[in-house]
Amino acid sequence: MTAAGEPILEVRDLVKHFPLHQGILLRKQVGAIKAVDGVSFDLRRGETLGIVGESGCGKSTLAKVLMALERPTSGSVRINGREIANAKGSELKRVRRNIQMVMQDPYTSLNPRMTVGDIIGEPYEIHPEVAPKGDRRRRVQELLEVVGLNPEHVNRYPHQFSGGQRQRIGIARGLALQPEIIVCDEPVSALDVSIQAQVVNLLERLQREFGLAYVFIAHDLSVVRHISDRVGVMYLGKMVEIGTDVEIYDRPAHPYTQALLSAVPVPDPDGRERRERIVLQGDPPSPANPPSGCRFRTRCWKAQDICAQQEPLLQIRPGTGHASACHFAETHDVVHV
Amino acid sequence: MKKTSTPVLPARTAPGDGPLLAVDDLHVEFATRQGVVKAVNGVSYSLNPGETLAVLGESGSGKSVTAQAIMGILDMPPARIPRGEIRFRGTDLLRLPEDQRAQVRGQRISMIFQDALSALNPVFTVGWQISEMFRVHRGMSRRDATKKAIELMDRVRIPAARQRVNDYPHQFSGGMRQRIMIAMAIALDPEVLIADEPTTALDVTVQAQIMELLAELQRESNMGLILITHDLGVVADVADKIAVMYGGRIVENALVHDIYRSPAHPYTKGLLDSIPRVDLKGQELYAIKGMPPNLLDMPQGCAFHPRCPYRQDNCVTDAPPLYEIGPTRGSACHYWREVFDDSRR
């Protein structure tokens, strides 16, 4: 899992706004939900980029735009140098083969009326060149074996499997087209605690075996640290800090990252009275009407006048070794997750 | 144990020798079309004033059903309580007539739920719903009850309570809705508060706010708190003692520091070992193999045996009792000593 080499996925100034309309007959746009508002990052071959942030920060919208399930308002997403954001027709089909997705909820993301074999084999209907018709059943059974399910269960239906097994089916479907990138949107958060580790291990093994690159979106910070080479922190549509796992977790520079890390309960009661905890006041503002300047300033204890006037850019700041978007960035080891 | 007369509810100030709340050998089963589901199979725990008991378990472990039995909000039928006692200040709630039970529910034992949005009524204002507690249970006038509701919203730190008292649930964020639930739950100064996954639907920064609020309210009023959760982090943060549930039973109970330092049941040990740790980065996580049991088809013997690395032949046939392994702890494992020694290393 080295982070060297050419980026396989390049995201530049990605923006996704959802228009807000008013009126039924005379619909007019009255504003926009700024779900993703200028996000840039690279993902290299075989690398895992973790994306963390609270609900409403735009991480799931980001996943959809990466998959070209949503058209970005502006900006670019390149996979192996090929633009996917505005690709159409056969070009889109070709690029998409290389990027697949594992969804959060294994209960609703599998069609209950299809057998497991049909679910996992469906990508071959769209991309017949990957597996000739006669070969598909064997391929599907191989995939079941790869994700640790019994290949003989190919004719069963999703309801005959437990949550963890269903997530494995979702992962097998994601692998079917041998993509180079898999976007995992909260892949373990719907699972029981004792099952989560199994799925995390599976994802790591598959990465080693197939050289996959992951965009791993999750809110469980300790799982993200375990699996990620680099981590990006999002707040209200912006990437506020990005760096290696060690940089983000041991030397966080953005106040939001520090607050987020300090809020995570540590599974060890020893010394809990002495633990430093930054409890943020209030809730995140609405992405339809984000604060001016720095979006975090309304909840930030460091905020000054400049934060309201000037938006801090995501860049490497003096005294820190990685990029953060805060005028007063300062590394501070809050807590070890 | 055998009493012939109907039990009487003790006063709030009753000098209690025993615990505030004691669940004793509770069994709950549900009649379903596929057969009888034994959701709770002999659960016992106790709670003292000012104490926080964490009940830890996965979905289907029976942790919520136990809580619902304490509250008396199980639908019976299909639910049935064939055995067990729930003693509140010494009185068995299960033997109380319904009118007296209603005196306990919401007033002396109250509960908050995971999903505040679906627990609140969308067509009434939050002020109306909070003040309902005072109108129904205390017979207050609307005006006085609303005044009380505003006070409570202040107490759970909802900003601008006076302006927001006439807002509807959907106008609040997830964290604020949970505060409203808490306001309703503490309205009548309960002696026991049951919090069923109170922060699972919330973001971590909001979770920290809510847990802090609960701890503060508890300090102020000395109520006992039962925290039902699956989050080992939250438990470590706030609990005094823990009961770990699996397959409808308590498999381990202990003081919080003891259990994290040296678990004595393979399931607890497995859960703690599977937490990602910094020094294990790049290595495979420990994972408990297999999956939680199907309640319709519970394994013979110890419910955990199909997944257990310590399994011996007798685990398959004999269900282990909750062995007393110390003055304040128990483990339902025949081989708890091995587990305990392994985890102390």
**Per CATH, is B21-239 categorized as 3.40.190.10?**
no
3-state secondary structure of B241: strand
Tell whether B117 lies on the interface with A, counting CB pairs under 8 A.
Answer: no
The single residue listed with the structure tokens 């505003």 is B150
pLDDT attached to residue A335: 59
Residue A308 domain-assigned (yes or no): no
> Checking phi first, is residue A237 left (phi over 0); if not, alpha (psi -120 to 50) or beta?
left
Which of A62-66, A138-142, B116-120 is predicted least confidently? B116-120
Domain count along chain A: 1
Q: pLDDT band at residue B240, thresholds of 50, 70 and 90?
A: very high
Instruction: Give the chain B residue nearest A192 (alpha carbons).
Output: B58
ipTM of the prediction: 0.77
Could you give the C-alpha distances from B48 to A153, A203, B224, in angstroms and in order? 50, 44, 6
Residue A272 domain-assigned (yes or no): no
Position B6 pLDDT exceeds 70? no
Residue B150, min C-alpha distance to chain A (Å):
19
Average pLDDT over residues B75-84: 88
175-214 in chain B: CB under 8 A from chain A: 175-176, 203-209, 211-212
- Give the pLDDT confidence of A190-238 residue by residue, as tens digits: 788 878 888 899 899 889 988 999 999 988 888 899 999 999 999 999 9
A282 contacts on B by Cβ (under 8 Å): 159
Domain, as residue range, for A75: 7-21+30-256
CA dihedral B220, B51, B269, A190 (to 10 degrees): -50
pLDDT attached to residue A3: 47
CA angle A285, A289, A290 (to 5 degrees): 55
CA gap B293, B291 in Å, rounded = 6
CA gap A71, A19 in Å, rounded = 13
pLDDT attached to residue A44: 92
Instruction: Give the chain B residue nearest A163 (alpha carbons).
Output: B291
pLDDT attached to residue B269: 92
Q: Which residues in chain B are classed under CATH 3.40.50.300? A: 21-239
A283 contacts on B by Cβ (under 8 Å): 173, 175-176, 206
- List A181's β-bridge partners, or say none: A99, A213
CA gap A332, B5 in Å, rounded = 65
- What does the DSSP assignment read for B110-140? EEE-S-HHHHS-TTS-HHHHHHHHHHHHH--
CATH number of the domain that A76 lies in?
A: 3.40.50.300
